[in-house]
A and B are shown apart, each in its own frame.
Chain A
Amino acid sequence: MQKYSIFNLVKNAFSNHENWDLAWKDPTPKEEYDVVIIGGGGHGLATAYYLAKEHNITNVAIIEKGWIGGGNVGRNTTIIRSNYMHDENGLFSEFGMDLWRKMSQDLNYNVMFSPRGIINLAHSDAQMNAYARRGNSMRLNGIDAVLLNREQVKEIIPMADFSENVRFPIFGGLMQPSAGTARHDAVAWGYARQADSMGVDIIQNCEVTGFDVAAGKIKGIRTSRGNIKAKKVGICVAGSTNILAEKLNMTLPIETHLLQACVSEPVKPVLDNVVTFGAGHFYVSQSDKGEMVMGGDLDGYNSYAQRGNLPTLQHVLTEGIAMMPFLSKLKMLRTWGGIMDMSMDGSPIIDKTHIEGLYLNCGWCYGGFKATPASGWTFAHTIAQDRVHELNAGYSLNRFSTGKLIDEKGLGTKTWIS
């Protein structure tokens, strides 16, 4: 593989950049693979990369219905954080933070990781207490957390509404300074390029139409480009999880919902951090191009349409304007939607299934992007070793029947229904 470096950049400048190698190939599916990963999103690509890198398994195919990085990894708001209270989520995400910090070097691809810090605003004394508790839990797990009072928040984000007569005054906030953002497409492309260079076949425009299972064991998959035999199959398809589960006669604790995001016109640098509104569901950061990147609630009803409805967007942006009134002056540049695999406790599933050789990675809800490296790493381990790693042991499929839910927000089942 051609290394990306300043020297190669200069060298290729002499030939008008016309002689760069393709970043990944476009192979025809082979008859058989050791491992087939269904889904060429961030998680699937990362899984293939760590299968090759950590477990030396390179006879691997990624089967993608559309094009790689065209799903949620290209549709998110690029936030990376590990500000979770529960051990399962905190330790898993903090492991991921380490991978994020090393990612650009590891992949020889600039993913533009920017640890700019995230601030969750608090709007009452009770919320400050809850944040103090969460911050303490984070610190016990080795995650950085700082509780900020009103004055400290004002120093960092003076453009927020600090006037007295507002419905949700800012009391303070919880900050994770090491959280941040990254360039989402680069993450997908970086993983794809490295996985491809180690022998992984990235097969795009190939839809999975069925599975071959015999005597409780996976034998292969059926696709729009023919049957492919496989010793092991990993499903990593986010909002399409239920569609594949139906082909396996499985019913999962997952519903597919639509989540929208939007960006404003680009403006000069105004916001250094990621900020979330604490009295609703709204988050904002500023991209390197200057756009304000915003998101919030789900549209609220089951949906496979990758486009949203205006009432939800209006609701979300009303919260945004309550938090930072200057946002009302900006013009909207783009809105888009992605389909989320919403699990019933708000936490993901990375586990084996009742079918031998079939593995499941789903339930990422609002937080799939930041989990990309840790999800790929633990899913690769689960597939290669045929057992879960301690980092994803809590993300089991049977926790719903055993009662070991990971209910981060304390909202019970169907955490998205408001």
Chain B
Amino acid sequence: MLYINCPHCGMRSQNEFSYGGDASVKRPELNKEVSDQEWDDFVYNRKSLRGKHLELWQHISGCRQWIKVERDTATHEIFRTFKADEEVA
């Protein structure tokens, strides 16, 4: 069982969350020519890192906010959590 520290609600069990994938993926800028490659990278291509991974989760059975979680994909250790709009250094 993972325990995720929701920045809005505090420590909660994994059962309350749903996973949203790699948080480092950026949507191509609006009102700009987007190449097929850029679109491909946004929609499909993923680094799927082994080790520290910044990812989106939604506290779906709690405050329903999207949050960012820094987690190790090999050990499942969670290092830090952030609000969705927080910049991660």
Q: Which residues of A are interface residues toward B (Cβ below 8 A)?
A: 242-243, 246, 251-256, 300-305, 309-311, 344, 400-401, 413-414, 417-418
Question: Contact: A251 with B14, CB < 8 Å?
Answer: no
Question: Contact: A251 with B47, CB < 8 Å?
Answer: yes
B48 within 8 A of A: yes
Given contacts A309-B1, A310-B1, contact A242 B47 (CB under 8 A): yes
Q: Which residues of B are interface residues toward A (Cβ below 8 A)?
A: 1-2, 13-15, 18-22, 36-37, 39-41, 43-50, 53, 55, 71, 73-76
Q: Which of B18, B46, B50 contacts A251 (CB 8 A)?
A: B46
A82-B39 Cα distance, complex, nearest whole Å: 33
Closest-CB distance, A343 to chain B (whole angstroms): 9
Question: Contact: A305 with B19, CB < 8 Å?
Answer: no
Question: Contact: B73 with A256, CB < 8 Å?
Answer: yes
Question: Which are the 3 A-B pairs with shortest beta-carbon distances?
Answer: A253-B44, A242-B48, A251-B45
Question: Contact: B75 with A252, CB < 8 Å?
Answer: no
A256-B49 Cα distance, complex, nearest whole Å: 9
Question: Contact: A252 with B43, CB < 8 Å?
Answer: no
Question: Taking CB as reference atom, which chain A residue is nearest B13?
Answer: A311
Question: Contact: B40 with A400, CB < 8 Å?
Answer: yes
Question: Contact: B55 with A413, CB < 8 Å?
Answer: no
Q: Which of B13, B20, B45 contacts A252 (CB 8 A)?
A: B45
A401-B41 Cα distance, complex, nearest whole Å: 9
A253-B40 Cα distance, complex, nearest whole Å: 9
Question: Contact: A417 with B48, CB < 8 Å?
Answer: no
Question: Contact: B74 with A304, CB < 8 Å?
Answer: yes
Question: Contact: A401 with B36, CB < 8 Å?
Answer: yes
Taking CB atoms, residues of chain A closer than 8 Å to B74 are 303-305
Question: Taking CB as reference atom, which chain B residue is nearest A414?
Answer: B21
Between A and B, 26 residue pairs with Cβ closer than 8 Å are A242-B47, A242-B48, A242-B49, A246-B47, A251-B45, A251-B46, A251-B47, A253-B44, A254-B46, A255-B21, A255-B46, A256-B50, A301-B71, A302-B22, A302-B48, A302-B55, A303-B74, A304-B50, A305-B75, A309-B76, A311-B15, A400-B43, A400-B44, A401-B40, A417-B19, A418-B18
Taking CB atoms, residues of chain A closer than 8 Å to B50 are 242-243, 256, 304
Closest-CB distance, A175 to chain B (whole angstroms): 34
Question: Taking CB as reference atom, which chain B residue is nearest A344?
Answer: B44
